[in-house]
Amino acid sequence: MKNNITRREWLVGSSAIAGGLMLGGAATAQEMAQMMNMGAPISKDNPIRMTNNENPYGISPKVMKVIIDAYKLAHTYNFTTGRKLIKVIADIENIPENTIAVGAGSTEYLTAAGALCGIAGGDLIAAYPTYASITRSAQNFGAKLISVPVGGDMSIDLDAMRKAVTNNTKCIYLCNPNNPIPSIIEKNALEQFCLEMSKKAMIVIDEAYYEYARDPNYSTMAHLVKDNPNIVVLRTASKIHAFANVRIGFAFAHPDTLKELLKFRSNTTSYPALMGAITSYQDKEHQEFIIDKNYESMDILYKMFDDLGMRYIKSNTNFVYADAGQDAQIVHDKLLESGILIGRKFEPFTNWIRISTAKPEETEYFVKVYKRDFG
């Protein structure tokens, strides 16, 4: 079996070539030069991006055309397209239109929720570790952060969070699935927690990876918002829709709660982004393609973890989390030498690495390099 592969074979990414990568010897400098990323050979300066939980396939061609065409009206103001997108989302989620707000990514509403908590002069409770956007905002506005360590199985510990609630608690943040640990909260337990604890504080549920979750024990909490002003659900188009640098996100909340959140909105959503999102959210075929490829890549990574005896967390996102057995920064830096960029080190699990899924053929290259350097 040949050890070197051609550029054309890499781009095609056939299963035969993937097998060759798995079974061949160590990745050579020539092989590395033949790997392509964004139209150029991969290198330390142009790595395969397995770091920020991005969609490696990018925006679909259909959506890209809509966005480009929309720029023909870039010189005009548009005040109605957001309502059209809200109607699309309302139909998909089966929730009232007046419980949905659009923003430039979900970060706008994470920041807004954190600000509301801080201004109220209270505490924000969050798992540790978890996504930190809302916690930074809350602290910037004067809130005290109460961090609740994840449980022994590395999932969010709802019982421990209950015990952390006091009369000063203003907000409880739940990232579900979580990040950097791709665990989920069982749907019935989460709904009970939300209904119970929303009597004491605002519950903010970040569902950035909602579309990727396949576990039957997972569910959105969007259905709770219309009748409960203390439950907020956030979504983003940055992941499965690949809008990371286009910026579209949503807050689902009671109309009274949306009014408060919208006070902090920057109003920076653009007409091309809105038009692209309208098309993307209705393109179910492309979404299924992305999800299938995501799980194909995760299966490749799981096999490597099993082969090497590495502990890992089963994922319902577009990234995996595994125990490398040594400092994550060392692993990060070594992989970068071969043109692979993985996630940074996350406290307190400093030996664990977060690996965003790439295309399956890129993932095969990752496995080859990882086994060479750490196997």
The Cα–Cα gap between 350 and 95 comes to: 41
Question: What is the topology classification, in CATH, of domain 7-58+285-374?
Answer: Aspartate Aminotransferase, domain 1 (3.90.1150)
List the Cα angle 363/365/371 in 5-degree steps.
100
Is residue 298 very low, low, confident or very high in pLDDT (cuts 50, 70, 90)?
A: very high
> At 79, is the pLDDT very low, low, confident or very high (cuts 50, 70, 90)?
confident
Please say if the pLDDT value at position 142 is more than 90.
Answer: yes
Q: What is the mean pLDDT of residues 178-197?
A: 99
Query: Across the chain, what does the average pLDDT equal?
Result: 92
Question: Which of the residue ranges 37-41, 128-132, 179-183, 212-216 would you say has the lowest mean pLDDT?
Answer: 37-41
pLDDT at 78: 84
Distance between the two ends of the chain, CA-based, in angstroms? 21
Task: Flag whether pLDDT at 31 surpasses 70.
Answer: no
Residue 364 to residue 300: CA distance in whole angstroms: 7
Residue 41: its pLDDT value, please?
A: 87
**Domains 7-58+285-374 and 61-282 in one fold:** no
Please, which residues have CB within 8 angstroms of residue 245's CB and are 6 or more apart in sequence? Answer: none
What are the tens digits of pLDDT across the range 86-111? 999 999 999 999 999 999 999 999 99
Domain boundaries, the chain: 7-58+285-374, 61-282
**CATH number, span 61-282:** 3.40.640.10
**Closest by Cα among 367, 362, 368 to 56:** 362
Confirm if 173 and 201 have CB atoms less than 8 A apart. no
pLDDT at 245 over 50: yes
The b-or-e profile of 324-352 (16+ CB within 10 A means b, else e) is beeebeebbeebbebbbbbbebbeebeeb
